[in-house]
């Protein structure tokens, strides 16, 4: 079976998704949305792995994707828990209000 979609297209999509994710992290003020954007970035890279794996007919791509999935799951659970705690303490999820580190 011949693939109708070229690898370049998939890579472009992955790149777009990744840039979207980054933009989300940068622009958004709410931590939850930032976390979401990070997830988007993770999946973008996962997509790139899968595409590359199928292009060179190597299982490594899928393996990496499974790793990424597992990590994302862990990250979300911990991240959400942290966000809950932050909300409990500060009654806010605005990242600019939460920053405490200064020089």
Partner 1 sequence: MNNLLWLVPTLPLVSFLILALAGKHVSRVWVAIIGAGSVSLSAIITLIIGISFLSLPPATGNYSQTLWTWMQVGGFNPKITLFLDALSLIFVFVITFIGALIHIYSVGFMADDKDYSRFFACMNLFVFSMLLLVLADNLLLLYLGWEGVGLCSYLLIGFWYENPANGYAARKAFIITRVGDTAMAIGLFVIFYQFGTLVIPDVLAKAPILWHQGAYMATITALLLLAGGVGKSAQLPLQTWLPDAMAGPSPVSALIHAATMVTAGVYLIARMHVIFQLSPIAQMIVAVIGTATLFIAGLSALTQYDIKRVLAYSTISQIGYMFLALGVGAWTAAIFHFVIHAFFKALLFLAAGAVIEALHHEHNMFKMGGLKNKLPVIFWTFLVGSASLAALPLISAGFYSKDQILWYAWASQSGNPLLWFIALLGAFITALYTTRMMILVFWGEAKTAIGHHPGKLMTVPLIILAFFSLFAGFIELPHNFGHFTLFSNLLHQVLPETVLKAGINTELQFQVLASLSTFGGIYLAYIFYYKQPQRIEKLKQSGFAMNLYFFWFSGWGFDKLYNVLIVKPIVFIANINKNDVVDKLYQGITFVTIRLYQSLSFTQSGSLRWYVMGLVIGAIIILSIQIML
Q: Which residues bind partner 1 (CB under 8 A)?
A: 22, 25-27, 34, 95-96, 99-103
Return d(Cα 36, Cα 55) in angstroms, integer.
29
| CB closer to partner 1 out of 91 and 102 | 102
Contact between 10 and 47 under an 8 Å Cβ cutoff? The reply is: yes
| CB closer to partner 1 out of 2 and 99 | 99
Q: What angle do CA 43, 96, 73 make, to 5 degrees?
A: 25
| CB closer to partner 1 out of 60 and 94 | 94
Coil, strand or helix at 69: helix
- Tokens found for residue 38: 């990070």
Q: How far is the CB of 10 from partner 1 (least distance, A)?
A: 20
| CB closer to partner 1 out of 37 and 43 | 37
Q: How far is the CB of 20 from partner 1 (least distance, A)?
A: 13
Q: How far is the CB of 35 from partner 1 (least distance, A)?
A: 11
Coil, strand or helix at 95: helix
Q: How far is the CB of 71 from partner 1 (least distance, A)?
A: 18
Enter the DSSP assignment of 30.
B
């Amino acid at each position: 079976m011949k693939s109708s979609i070229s690898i370049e297209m998939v890579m472009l999509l992955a790149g777009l998704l990744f840039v979207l994710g980054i933009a989300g992290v940068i622009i958004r003020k709410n931590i939850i949305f930032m976390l979401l954007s990070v997830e988007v970035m993770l999946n973008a890279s996962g997509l790139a792995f899968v595409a590359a794996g199928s292009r060179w007919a190597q299982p490594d791509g899928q393996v990496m994707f499974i790793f990424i999935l597992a990590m994302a799951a862990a990250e979300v659970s911990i991240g959400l828990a942290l966000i809950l705690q932050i909300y409990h303490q500060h009654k806010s999820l605005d990242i600019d209000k939460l920053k405490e580190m200064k020089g």
